A = this chain, B = another copy of it.
Amino acid sequence: MSIPSLNDIQKAHRRIVSLIHQTPVLTSSSFNAIVGGQVFFKCENLQKTGSFKIRGASNAILSLSDNEREKGVTTHSSGNHAQALAYAAQSLGIKATIVMPDDAPSVKKKAVAGYKAEIRYCSPTPEAREAMCEEVQRKTGAIFIPSYNDNRIITGQGTAALELLKLHPDLDIILTPIGGGGLLSGSVIAAKGINSNIQVIGTEPEAANDAFLSFKKGELILVNKPNTICDGLKTSLGDLTFAVISSYVTDIVTVDENSILQAMRYIWERMKIVIEPSSAVPVAALLSGKVEAHNKKIGIIISGGNVDLDHLPWHQ
């Protein structure tokens, strides 16, 4: 198992730059006044396909040989990686077959279908997803593109922090949410490679705290069927992302569901951007004081904005 470097992330960025948006970095004086620091929101919700996942997915596809690309790609995903892989494949003219749990939000299913990928539905368990995805590979020869536990994915996801640090190299802290840990792994490699004094802190729902437990205990702990509004953060870490995170990350903090909901609503109401619950987790860490922002410069990777507008959490 080899851990990628800042140089690998820079190479990934050159590889994918024409396929992605250079997303804006927003600030809010009212948010800064509340937390007492300066916060820079790197808006990957405004990224193509509505999340940072296009970075890793396109980097992975562009790393394949011509022969591999001809066979097409496949993955299993609860949503954002699925959309990202479908879009990247469509942009590059290759076939994608996406295995999705049948309870994925309808807006995510529609988007994947809109990118002309073939969708195969399965039960919402890790076992069912993997079995069906293996079947697709066996029958079609499609190349499996994992959603986080993979160096091509980690280096792709790290390009968001790379862009943020290019604009704001003097950040004290970078915050990201944690699902499978691909975004956090890529971000910490980018940040520590640029300036080893930058603290990189992972933020996680209390109700899906596998990374928090793993980090504190020093061994990989999985959680089964976590009950959180953050549909993007239900995954546990993999061995590779756990190795990166346990080696380099400063800390992991958790926040409760109500804090996440309040933080999500605050961002919609005051910053006028649509963010999904997962993206509100690092925001909640600041608003709840779990991460101390006083007189600090803090970057947050806003991971995505794919929500079902007919089922907003504050209407339920």
Docked complex Cα distance between A314 and B310 (Å): 8
**Which residues in window 291-307 of A have CB below 8 A to B?**
305-306
Docked complex Cα distance between A172 and B316 (Å): 45
- A139 interfacial by beta-carbon distance below 8 Å: no
| A309 with B269, Cβ < 8 A, contacts A26-B46, A46-B26 known | yes
Name the residue on B nearest A46 (C-beta): B272
Q: Is there an interface contact between A45 and B268, defined as CB atoms closer than 8 Å?
A: no
Query: Assembly of this chain: how many copies?
Result: 2
Q: Which residues of B contact A48 (CB under 8 A)?
A: 29
Q: Is there an interface contact between B272 and A45, defined as CB atoms closer than 8 Å?
A: yes
Docked complex Cα distance between A252 and B156 (Å): 45
* CB contact between A268 and one of B21, B114, B274, B314 (< 8 Å): that residue: B274
Given contacts A45-B272, A46-B271, A265-B309, 13 further A-B contacts (CB under 8 A): A26-B46, A30-B114, A50-B272, A107-B269, A268-B274, A268-B309, A269-B309, A272-B273, A272-B275, A272-B306, A309-B314, A310-B314, A315-B315
Interface residues of A (CB under 8 A from B): 21, 24, 26-27, 29-30, 45-46, 48, 50, 107, 114, 265, 268-275, 305-306, 309-310, 312, 314-315
